[in-house]
Amino acid sequence: MEKVFHLGLSKADLNGATLAIVPGDPKRSERIASQLDNPKCLAQTREFHVYLGDIKGQSIVICSTGIGGPSTSIAVEELAQLGVNTFLRIGTTGAIQPHINEGDILVSTASVRLDGASQHFAPLAYPAVSDFHCTAAMVEACDQLGVTYHTGITASSDTFYPGQERYDTFSGYVPKAFQGSCEEWQKLNVMNYEMESATLFTMCAALGLKAACVAGVLVNRTRQEIPNVDHQLVEKNAVSVVIKAAELVLEKTKQA
């Protein structure tokens, strides 16, 4: 098989892996891979840092998506061409409900589609919904690890500033379409904002692939805008959850 366009990899490179852990941050790929057996770097191109590692003797892929839907859609498309059918995102996030604390873990059941890329896969009426079994594995991982977690809906936006209604910006202006939107999502019980899950969930559901998303809370925006937590600590818990969830999903797949 030819190499895929951006990742520059072919099927044989993935050693039969069907599950990928997909962080946003490229450097997070390496930190995740270093916690697996036999970590190996396959490619570092643009925002896509791709590693292979083993969990209980089975190869999995770790591939960063970069920030936002367009690059996420490229990573998912090309990994799917290489045989991956399950995508577990691990990200960071800003909470918008007062009862959620910095350092907590959020497992997204579905996402509000404030992105553009997902509309290239299915019309807006189509739900950005996670895979039930992969999400159950994320929850089981949280229970086993004893972390504080919440499940629910995530707002997933193309932009970090206007789309998440931030006023602490260069212009201080948020276009009318987004004025009041944060309060609206709060009232509709949305937990948090991030930037990739809407694209990931919609395209995976539409293409017959499986996806789930876990995120560590960097900031609670009902209290402050700029995080003052230890980013590495927040990431560490969410990474432990996604690795444990990957192990649980692989076990179930083996039994099936």
Ligand X SMILES: O=P(O)(O)O[C@H]1O[C@H](CO)[C@@H](O)[C@H]1O
Residues with a catalytic annotation lie at 6, 78, 166, 221
Q: Which of 205, 196, 120 has its CA nearest to residue 158?
A: 196
By CB under 6 A, which span of 46-54, 116-124, 168-176, 191-199 interacts with ligand URA? 191-199
Amino acid at the residue 228:
N
Specify the amino acid at residue 214.
Answer: V
- 27: DSSP letter: H
Partner that binds at residue 25, options ligand URA, ligand X, none, CB closer than 5 to 8 Å by kind: ligand X
Tokens at residue 107, please? 């497992």
Site string for ligand URA, 207-236 (x = CB under 6 A): -----------xx-----------------
Task: Kindly determine how many residues on this chain lie close enough to bind ligand URA according to the rule CB under 6 A.
Answer: 10
What is the DSSP-derived secondary structure letter of residue 12?
G
Give the nearest distance from C-beta 160 to ligand X in angstroms. Answer: 5
> In the range 51-70, which residues lie near ligand X by CB under 6 A?
67
| By the rule CB under 6 A, 161 interacts with ligand URA | no
In whole angstroms, how far apart are CA 194 and each of 5, 40, 93?
Answer: 27, 29, 5
CB of 194 to ligand URA, least distance (A): 4
**What secondary structure does DSSP assign to 191-210, as a single string?**
EEEESSHHHHHHHHHHHT-E
Torsion of Cα atoms, 53 then 139 then 133 then 52, to 10°: -10
95 DSSP β-pair partners: 192, 220
Q: Assess 165 for contact with ligand X (CB under 6 A).
A: no
Q: Which is nearer to ligand X, 97 or 253 (CB)?
A: 97
- Candidates 29, 58, 73, 92: give the one binding ligand X (CB under 6 A): 92
From the list ligand X, ligand URA, none, pick the one residue 241 interacts with, judged by a Cβ distance below 5 to 8 Å according to partner type: none
Q: Is 26 in the site for ligand X (CB under 6 A)?
A: no
Whose tokens are 């399950």? That residue is 86
Footprint of ligand X (CB under 6 A): 23-25, 67, 91-92, 160, 194-196
